[in-house]
Structure 1
Amino acid sequence: MRRPRPGDDRGQISVELLGLAPLILVVLVLLWQFVLVGYTYALAANAADKGARAGTATETGGAGACAAAAKKDLPGAWQGGATIACGAEGGLWKAKVGLKVPVLFPGAGNFPWTVTGTAGVAEEEA
């Protein structure tokens, strides 16, 4: 049987990886959560923009069209907690969309704060 030489470091990489694995996983989870936060901001802004544009349509516009357009393209996990407010104000049609930020997986749970996206479009004249 061969005895290891003093200072032999075989297996050191495995031990270091085992020690760093939890840190690597935590960093990956945090990065994923930041991606979800950014995606939620993008969804809220896009939904508000679509709602405001739909609200200004001369024939089919209004608050109902605004809310429907704002909610139409939202993924299912974000639709449940969505708050949509539409209305005309000083020659502008404004839409405000509030979405909850999911925790790690959309649909599993939400953070207690709301991400808000707002948009305004000039009203069309008949």
Structure 2
Amino acid sequence: MRTPARRGAGDPRSDRGQVAIEFVGTVPLILLLVAAVWECVLIGYAFSLAGNAADEAARAGAVHGDGACEEKAGTHVGSAWNMTVACSETGGVVTARVSLNLPLLYPGLDIGVPIEGEAGSPKEEEE
């Protein structure tokens, strides 16, 4: 009497190695998802950084003048963010506009899309 053949390494219908194939297929998708989440975190951080720099610059400009406005904006922002600052005074309100370039995976590698933060502060006299 014949014994039934076992499914094993030599059988073409075997599921041996299936987990390895599925792992190789899903790893690129997982890495793409991680990169997308990281990019979203960087975009949120850039908006937060631009808003904070504009607030700091407007406050410094309201108290000390235009030179302090542009200088104060750069104190909390690294040079990799390619920041530009524009300060102006209209009707007793100092307005600061800070623009950062949108980073692609890390600050310094940008795609040229600006992220802007704008803030205003009433002019104050220094005593």
The TM-score, its normalising length taken from structure 1, stands at 0.84
1:110-121 alignment runs, 5 A limit: 110-121=110-121
Counterpart CA distance in 2 for 1:77 and 1:36 is 13
Counterpart CA distance in 2 for 1:76 and 1:102 is 12
Deviation at 1:10, TM superposition (A): 3.9
Deviation at 1:12, TM superposition (A): 2.2
Q: Letter of the aligned partner of 1:123 in structure 2?
A: K
Partner of 1:31: 37
Partner of 2:25: 19
Counterpart CA distance in 1 for 2:88 and 2:107 is 29
Contact 2:99 2:114 in 1 (8 A): yes
1:83-102 alignment runs, 5 A limit: 83-102=84-103
Partner of 1:72: 75
Structure 1 vs Structure 2 CA RMSD: 1.9
In structure 1, runs of 5+ residues without a counterpart are none
The TM-score, its normalising length taken from structure 2, stands at 0.84
- Higher Rg: 2
Secondary structure of 2:95's match? strand
Contact 2:38 2:105 in 1 (8 A): yes
1:27-86 residue CA offsets vs partner (Å, 9 max, x unmatched): 1111111111111111100000000010111xxx111000000011102311xx211011
Contact 2:54 2:97 in 1 (8 A): yes
Secondary structure of 2:46's match? helix
Q: Letter of the aligned partner of 2:87 in structure 1?
A: C
Secondary structure of 2:21's match? helix
Bigger mean CA offset, 25-34 vs 46-55: 25-34
